[in-house]
Structure 1
């Protein structure tokens, strides 16, 4: 069915501007990249609203005047039970609307390409031979896979890297609007969802370079107390000497504190609020030398400043002889069950339209990510450990915004600019985070005319996000297709509520006239006392929640009963399979995890070479 009426109602299209009329076509394109359930759900909701409008007025939404559509939405919004559903519907609409408004305004300012991308040895899956051999096959080209591939190739092994996604150049990022890149760079169009109480949106990258292509570039070292806990409680011996591995990763990624000149208004607001409160805050350390503040990290840096592993690690691996196969979905790890000493990996089988191909190799490095590695191992007959796919942590996150009298223009400057660590020891990390218009996890309040006014005044908003160090409360199910289950722990729900309170306090201290809470039934507060009153009667289920950085689903450790992988990252029950991605981490690392994942992968690969 047509989405014209729904979009016109939500955006109060009164024919005074051209961009709202282009949103339905943009929304159709976005929905085509999403899972069937997401497409069906949005269209079913649109149909239900249309049926309601027809019952009330005798005409569909598209046939109503702007005022009549506003009246219909007002009646629906008056029913509290419908507010969360209406807010959910707004997410893809705002994604599409933000892009069309940005294009009408001339798009983002042109950026200078800092340097040409270094060469990679790339072969599409359809051109790979039906049977080949290698010393090692690495499944996944993200943070962990890239680091393992480089380490093994530089040690002289013949390495093939298999990547399900495609390769995208920096120049291609600069030629296309953010939303077009978003749908190409994220699995399921960014609509990966963990079902549970409450449901969580968990966007994951899929491209050469994995999620490092679409993350913020924030580069935290693993906290010492986390490493100590992993070593003491889990027997995670990879944590021993971890500083040396982190040093190497930081050197490779050229990590440095973000300079102030491109921090942007959003970061300055966070610093001002923290200074007023006496809180610990500073510009973040990032892997983006020469950053020009395009605020597009999450859809591929258009200047090449952010050192994703596509630019920093994989080129070194290819120089050492590694080859990368794109569009390669691994069907299964091949295992020879009759080898002396027990079952041993013998290679992989990759699916493609002509039936697939095999690469025979005595070493298989599984680095498909914490969400994809468990189903792959199950498809391979290697999913027998009772804890495989369990122990999932996801850094539950929420965001709020503050409205200021003067423009902030949050999307001009660094996307994730300032870290506020006042409550980090309590498991709450606040980061000043802005995105291209409409692409953040924060959802503007209101419907119809109210939402349209919010869109028109979005330059006055500063946005903060907070993620919490969660207890491992999820699991990855499925074989052919992944299914996520995650139920927020009561302790973590309390942390999220404290995070909202802290972010509100920070924004008011910085001079915000009002704070947009992200809570559908009370979307605005004017002071901290009002925010406290709202939070007293609210639970975490009422927040706009998302999640990032899944870890722990093939955890390494000393206990054969608790950990599917041994302390060196070797999968138990089979020889020749290494785990080299976020799934190998025993628990939530409590910070943005790219450095931690890469250091762990380096440790796994080096330990294998020593054995």
Structure 2
């Protein structure tokens, strides 16, 4: 079905500007990148909206006048049961609309980028049907890259197997952000954890994994978290994590973000925190020479952000590691008849025209917290009762403040300032701005109201907050993972506390109003109004997302609760290490890239020292 009428209704395309007419084609292109169930669900919802128009007027949305569409939407907006359906439709429409509006205003920025460091990458269709190595690493993200480098530098022959493609920095600068978004995220960014409430949980798929599309924020694992991992969970590898964290920071060239490219979004957050007396500072990031292009989440077009495909993996390849791309590992091969018990024998990779086998006595699983459990199950290694359990996801929500003067939040660092005043209560606030339409904040309104919001985004400053959550989720399945996550009541309270704190910060910075993300009252003009709203609201009314899944193959001393042993070795088989976010025993309470890299380094180093 054509999406023209639905888009025209949602963003009030009245023919007075040219960019809205290009949104349907942009939306169609984006939908094509989504998995079939998500695509079908969106089209069914769009069809339902069109059917409603026919039932009420006898004509489709495309056949109605702008005024008739506006009247129809006004009626729908007064029906609480349909608000969530309309928000589902709005998210991809805003993504496409924000792109077209941005291109109309400033075009596609042209940036000069130096050539990327060389990588030894071979697409799977060019790889031999059978090969051997000392070690195979499944996944090339933060954990897999660090494991590969550690093993290769020790003299082992290493093959890294990555499901995604290799994307160069220059390719990022040549395409609009939304086109990169669809390619760089698994399922076009539409990974969802089902539960109460559902959570959008986007993860990357490329050489470099999610580090290619994260914010570049680099927090060290807090001391109290490391102490808990060691004393409560018995994750012995965490005992010496300091040195591994130091190494990761040096490799990524981590430093506080300089003020000159912070951007107005970050400066307003600092100003509000200063007026409140709150602890806040520019974030430590892995982006020396950042130009403030605000595109970290769709691949840095300047090469400033030191994702692992620009930092760790080149070192691994220089030491002899090779990377097989566009290769999905179907199963880990196991020699069940070896003396002493089953032992890893390599991996089997799916390929059209015949599978590929890479034989090795060591397999490092680093497919990520969502995909490591299904891989182990497909391999006959998923018998541990806690495999796939213990899932933490750092639930997050956003608010925005409207200011009298332009903020133009997308000119500057995407994630610029950390506000740690409430971190002791499990709430970490970060000033986060994205290219228009690409953030987790959903603009309020429908029709002309939503159009005004789109055209007024230059006056919005945005904040995001994530909470240190209890492990309330599970990863099910053997093929495509099925995610289940139910927000714990304690964590729901933390999210409401986060919204209140972000509102207070924005008002302190001079916001004229705060956009709450709560459909019942999307705008408040005073802190007292926000307090009154939150007193009658709950976390399930917020627009929630999540970004940092961890813990689904956790390491620890309790053999009944930890699928991996204290050194990250998978229980029940020799020669399989877990070296990604899965191995972390609990939520790290901060952006986890350094924690994952350090843990992977510790796990692989411990193996080499045995």
Q: Normalized against structure 1, the TM-score is what?
A: 0.99
Report the equivalent of 1:509. 508
The alpha-carbon deviation at position 112 of structure 1 amounts to 3.1
> Residue 489 of structure 1 aligns with which residue?
488
- Give the match's secondary structure for 2:232: helix
Q: 3-state DSSP class of the match of 1:417?
A: strand
String of CA shifts for 1:17-45, please: whole Å, max 9, x gaps: 11111111111111111122211111111
Q: Which residue of 2 aligns with 1:62?
A: 62
The residue that corresponds to 1:214 in the other structure is 213
The answer on 1:101 being equivalent to 2:104 is no
The DSSP-based 3-state class of the residue aligned with 2:506 is: helix
Hey, what's the Cα distance between the residues in 2 that align with 1:19 and 1:521? 30
**What secondary structure sits across from 2:310 in the alignment?**
helix
Matched position secondary structure for 2:357: strand
Q: Residues of 1 paired with 2:217 and 2:528: CA distance?
A: 33
Say whether residues 1:161 and 2:155 are aligned partners.
no
Question: Which secondary structure does the structure 1 equivalent of 2:106 belong to?
Answer: coil
Question: Contact 1:140–1:368 at 8 Å: present in 2 too?
Answer: yes
What is the Cα deviation at residue 75 of structure 1?
0.6
Q: What SS does structure 1 have at the residue aligned with 2:545?
A: strand
SS in 1 for 2:117: coil
Which residue of 1 is the match for residue 41 of structure 2? 41
> Is 1:341 the counterpart of 2:332 in the alignment?
no
> Counterparts of 1:140 and 1:241 in 2: how far apart (Å)?
24
Which residue in the other structure is 1:313 paired with?
312
Which position in structure 1 is the counterpart of 2:31?
31
Question: Residue in 2 aligned with 1:564?
Answer: 563
Which secondary structure does the structure 2 equivalent of 1:52 belong to?
helix
SS in 2 for 1:324: strand
Query: What displacement does 1:116 show?
Result: 1.5
TM-score by length of 2: 0.99
Give the distance between the partners of 2:106 and 2:427, measured in 1 at CA.
38
In 2: Cα distance, 1:234 partner to 1:36 partner: 40
Q: How many residues align?
A: 610
Aligned to 2:199: 200
User: Displacement, 1:69?
Assistant: 0.3
Distance between the aligned counterparts of 2:262 and 2:480, measured in 1? 40
CA RMSD of aligned residues (A): 0.6
Does the Cα contact within 8 Å between 1:197 and 1:541 map onto a contact in 2?
A: yes
CA distance in 1, matches of 2:287, 2:496: 32
Give structure 1 stretches of 5+ with no counterpart.
Answer: none
Deviations 1:441-465 (A, max 9, x none): 0000000000000011100000000
Query: What secondary structure is seen at the aligned counterpart in 1 of 2:363?
Result: strand
Give secondary structure in 1 for the equivalent of 2:556. coil
Query: Counterpart in 2 of 1:4?
Result: 4
Partners of 1:480 and 1:191 in 2: CA distance: 17
- Partner SS for 1:55: helix
Q: Which residue is 2:79 aligned to? A: 79
Structure 1 residues 262-299: Cα deviation after superposition (integer angstroms, max 9, x where no partner): 00000001001100100000000000000000000000
1:106 shift after superposition: 3.1
1:351 matched to 2:385? The reply is no
Q: Does 1:400 align with 2:399?
A: yes
Distance 1:424 1:316 in 2: 35
Match of 2:255 in 1: 256
**2:90 match:** 90
Q: Using the alignment, how far apart are the partners of 2:241 and 2:345 within structure 1?
A: 31
Task: Return the offset for 1:183.
Answer: 0.4
Query: 1:78 & 1:283 partners in 2: Cα distance?
Result: 42
- Structure 1 CA distance for aligned equivalents of residues 341 and 479 of structure 2: 26
Task: Verify: 1:582 aligned to 2:581, yes or no.
Answer: yes
Q: Specify every segment of 5 or more residues in structure 2 that has no aligned partner in the other structure, as ranges.
A: none
Give the Cα separation in 2 of the matches to 1:426 and 1:109: 41
Match of 1:433 in 2: 432
Structure 2 distance, partners of 1:460, 1:258, is 23
Tell me the distance in 2 between the aligned counterparts of 1:591 and 1:332. Answer: 32
- Deviation at 1:84? 1.6
**SS of the counterpart of 1:463?**
strand
Q: Shift of the alpha carbon at 1:89?
A: 1.0
Partner Cα separation in structure 2 for residue 129 and residue 458 of structure 1 = 51
| 1:471 partnered with 2:470 | yes
Give the conservation status (yes or no) of the 8 Å contact 1:254–1:287.
yes
1:108 CA drift (Å): 4.8
Q: 3-state SS of the aligned residue for 2:329?
A: strand
Superposed counterparts of 1:442-461, under 5 Å? 442-461=441-460
Please state if 1:14 is matched with 2:14. Answer: yes
* Paired position in structure 1 for 2:151: 152
Task: Give the Å deviation of 1:438.
Answer: 0.5
